[in-house]
Amino acid sequence: MDWVNAILQGTLLGGLYALFAAGLSLIFGVMRLVNIAHGDLIVLAAYLALTVIMALGIHPLMSLLAVVPVMAVVGYVLQRSILNRTLGDDILPPLLVSFGLSVIIQNALLETYTADPQRLSAGPIEVASLNLGGLAVGYLPFLMFVTAVAIIGGLQIVFYRTGLGRAFRAVSDNQDIAQLMGINRRHVFALAMALSLAVTAVAGIFLGIRTSFDPATGPARLIFGFEAVIIGGMGSLWGTLAGGVILGVSQAIGAQVNPGWQILAGHVAFLVILAVRPRGLFPRMDG
């Protein structure tokens, strides 16, 4: 029963990793941009939530109503003003610029909020649990997992059932030809980044509720996000969810064997999958 429980908890934790990763996966899929600042943007969202919560005295989950649109606007402006300029045949400029952005965000957070660890307190639901056939399932991890599935399902619908999604796929396939269809790729890229950071806002708030965070927390989240994306296969959204779950379950199993092995087990699972399936478990058919 301990093992079943470990796998279940790992699966739920995987939902959070999938939330970290979904925004990365989305922009990689649309514009082949590897956003090194993604983890720091998650932490930025958590701090924005903290500010909103302190100012208005509302519940962290309510702060989503403010933080999601703010992060979406940040994403749009960031892409149009900075990141679009770095995109081209050379993959190095976007990496360097987003790395620089990561450093800037960390320092700005340090200046504004100090290095003290913070948490978003969600009250009684943090300890509430559901009883599923003898297994205690934390209410919060369950909510995170369901949210992750819903968000990834929603992104999937946007991608495959809407005009915006068609534009995303078209620019991803062939930017030149997409422009011939009257698509302004700079605008479409900025919309993709807006969507990515809207998802990041949700990830940041769940992160803040689950664990404490400080301005330097971002890079570690970025690693989990990357691993989930790469395990699942670059650019595949359901693959990213699977990647998050595999990472979460590996960590839970590792921790079950020896509490010190939790993080290591996740990285080992990542390396093994990368060695066996270099393109991930569910790579997109093309490219």
The two beta strands, 129-132 and 135-138, are antiparallel
DSSP code at position 58: -
SS3 sequence of 59-87: CHHHHHHHHHHHHHHHHHHHHHHHHHHHC
Residue 129 backbone zone (phi > 0: left; psi -120 to 50: alpha; other: beta): beta
| CA 244/CA 250 separation, integer angstroms | 10
Min CB(53)–another protein separation in Å: 41
Residues near another protein (CB under 8 A): 163, 166-167, 169-170, 172-174, 176-185, 284-286
- Closer residue to another protein in complex, CB, 68/152: 152
Min CB(13)–another protein separation in Å: 32
The CA–CA distances, whole Å, from 103 to 8, 77, 96, 262, 278 equal 36, 18, 11, 28, 30
- Closer residue to another protein in complex, CB, 53/188: 188
- Closer residue to another protein in complex, CB, 235/248: 235
- Closer residue to another protein in complex, CB, 159/213: 159
Min CB(78)–another protein separation in Å: 21
- Closer residue to another protein in complex, CB, 180/276: 180
Min CB(173)–another protein separation in Å: 4
How wide is the angle at C-alpha 243 spanned by C-alphas 257 and 69, nearest 5°?
120
Min CB(89)–another protein separation in Å: 12
Min CB(200)–another protein separation in Å: 24
- Closer residue to another protein in complex, CB, 2/286: 286
Q: How far from the centroid of its chain's Cα atoms is residue 172's Cα?
A: 20
Q: What is the CA radius of gyration of the chain?
A: 19
The CA–CA distances, whole Å, from 62 to 16, 56, 132, 206 equal 18, 10, 27, 12
